[in-house]
A and B are shown apart, each in its own frame.
Chain A
Amino acid sequence: MAPSITLESVTYRYAPGTAPALSDLSISLPGGTCCAILGPTGSGKSTLVQLLAGILAKHHPESVGEGSLTIGDHRYTPLPNDILFPDVGLTLQDPYVQISGIRETTRKEIELTLETLGRDLVNEGGNIERLMHQLGITHLAARKPTTLSGGETQRVALATILIANPDVLLLDEPATALDYGAQANLKLILQSLRGAATVLFTDTHIDLPLEVADYFIVLKAGSLQFGGNRKQFLEHLPDFADLLPVEAWGKVLSALKGDPQSPFVRRIVQAAGLL
């Protein structure tokens, strides 16, 4: 069962005495949620997902974290200082660095994750094929992973984490390198994970989150500006016009399919400065 995630008064500084990268965050996510973490560059989105994956304290030993994190039944006080994989899986912004280069083919690259976990590759063969099919990378199985395009690499990077079947999946700007078709594919993948894993993904745009997320977190300079479900987010949408890119608001309007004359749509249009 997908675990719930609770952050209580989490403040995180990369070094003592510096401005907090995350400031007094308190969030509670039900298990199985697909949550979008939104905000402009430098708002703390990547810091948050890296903290949830347990990578931050390990790679920034001088950092200072306060508060507590609870994932399912595990409560981390102080905050986790070691990688929580395979319970929690994270894909980084740059998909190319996710490829180890140790393996000759894409399939073997995916198998590497299972090998590091000590899983039996013979038993997992069916799972690998199913996952590759689901991600649309079956045809890349024999290709050298370092020769793939950005979108293909993004999907293989995702497969290297998904194959471990994490209960919590964290994706740092997963849509960045993807073309329109690959984004649609990602949308399907995220939808298929609904309920099976608690998914959190960061994005600087709001079109993909609006299509797949059922919970939204908006950050600004490390502080929580908003945390709520889809209905609440849509109600507050005009408040985020200064945080989310204006060019995306046209897509928002079309995604909402709202009546241009309705007060809500007029509020959005006005807030985004489109009038």
Chain B
Amino acid sequence: MVPDLRPKLAFVLFLSVCAFAFDWQILLPLIALVLLFPFALPSYHPASDRARHLFFRFILFSIAISGAIIVLNGWILQTGERVEVLPGISLFSDGLLFGVRTAARLLLLSFSVLLFFSSTPIPTCINALQQSGLPRTVVLMLLLTLHFLDSLPERINRIFMAQEARGAPVRAGFISRTKAFFSILSPLLLSSIAESVDRGVALELRGFLLEMAPSAKPELPAQPFSPLTILLLAASFFILVISIARWLLP
């Protein structure tokens, strides 16, 4: 039995719509809510230890980047009230506000997508897509993309280890890491793409793209949309319509 992923997807959609429609005062509590979900709701628990580790690491990085966005905007957009943060260094209120708004949107969008993928194992995700009746070529493409993203951190780590074994100071500090990362970027992507092609070929060699026999045709999910899914979809639609109307009408 493939779990129904529709409520989760509807929740991601709802949060994405909110990220564009609302201002930071509403987005910040929503971000806090998203961060509580992995602890509070079993269906949002990270799927594995690795997923948990990556989820929280991503949160830390995102918060650091958000801080940088806010400060940078406060420094570049020199309008509004001047705020002296350090002797000789001033930021501007309009820039800071714009930075907070942008950072909050980015955080909510990325956290909601991350919450979905960290709590949904790739096999479950692909099975659900397959069972939904999507063409097999589309499922294969999504599968390869997810594998590509899933294997990326491990590949980077492996290349870094190989470089370290040769005495290269790739993890000596932030600058060394950044420099090393850019130098491995193209071989990393090329090798990942080559592996994705091979994986696609291997799946084809197992008949993955063959026309399925009638007995193997997946049964479409019999269960109707849950009330929660309907509520989230309706709320997303309503917020979207109101936002567009507000944007179009003077």
A161 and B143 in contact (CB under 8 A), knowing A102-B123, A102-B127, A118-B214? no
Chain B stretch 47-89: residues in CB contact (< 8 A) with chain A: none
Instruction: Give A245-256 as 1s and 0s: 1 = Cβ < 8 Å from B's Cβ atoms.
Output: 000000000000
Which of A65-73, A87-95, A185-193, A196-204 is near enough to bind chain B?
Answer: A87-95
A241–B103 alpha-carbon span in the complex (Å): 66
Contact A92 B198 (CB under 8 A): yes
A47 to chain B, nearest CB (A): 13
| Chain B interface category by residue count | 20 to 34
Contact A53 B198 (CB under 8 A): no
* Cβ contacts under 8 Å, B212 to chain A: 116, 118
Contact A116 B205 (CB under 8 A): no
A149 to chain B, nearest CB (A): 15
A161 and B206 in contact (CB under 8 A), knowing A101-B143, A101-B147, A117-B216? yes
Q: Tell which of B130, B195, B207 touches A85, judged by Cβ atoms closer than 8 Å.
A: B207
Contact A164 B207 (CB under 8 A): yes
Contact B195 A97 (CB under 8 A): yes
For residue B204, CB closer than 8 A to chain A, the reply is yes
* Cβ contacts under 8 Å, B201 to chain A: 55, 59, 92, 97
For residue B199, CB closer than 8 A to chain A, the reply is yes
Could you tell me the dominant secondary structure of chain B's interface residues?
helix
The size of the chain A interface, using a CB distance under 8 A, is: 31
* Cβ contacts under 8 Å, B205 to chain A: 53, 55, 83, 85, 89-92, 161
Instruction: Give A27-66 as 1s and 0s: 1 = Cβ < 8 Å from B's Cβ atoms.
Output: 0000000000000000000000000010100110000000
A122 to chain B, nearest CB (A): 11
Q: Tell which of A97, A98, A113 touches B207, judged by Cβ atoms closer than 8 Å.
A: A113
Name the residue among A102, A112, A160 with the largest chain B CB count within 10 angstroms: A102
Contact A85 B198 (CB under 8 A): no
Closest 3 CB pairs of A and B: A118-B213, A118-B216, A97-B198
Binding site for B on A (CB under 8 A): 53, 55, 58-59, 83, 85-86, 89-92, 94, 97-98, 100-104, 112-113, 115-120, 157, 160-161, 164
Q: List 25 A-B contacts (CB under 8 A).
A: A59-B201, A85-B206, A86-B207, A90-B205, A92-B202, A92-B205, A94-B195, A94-B198, A97-B202, A100-B143, A100-B202, A101-B122, A101-B143, A101-B147, A102-B126, A104-B121, A104-B123, A113-B207, A116-B210, A116-B216, A117-B216, A118-B212, A118-B213, A119-B213, A120-B215
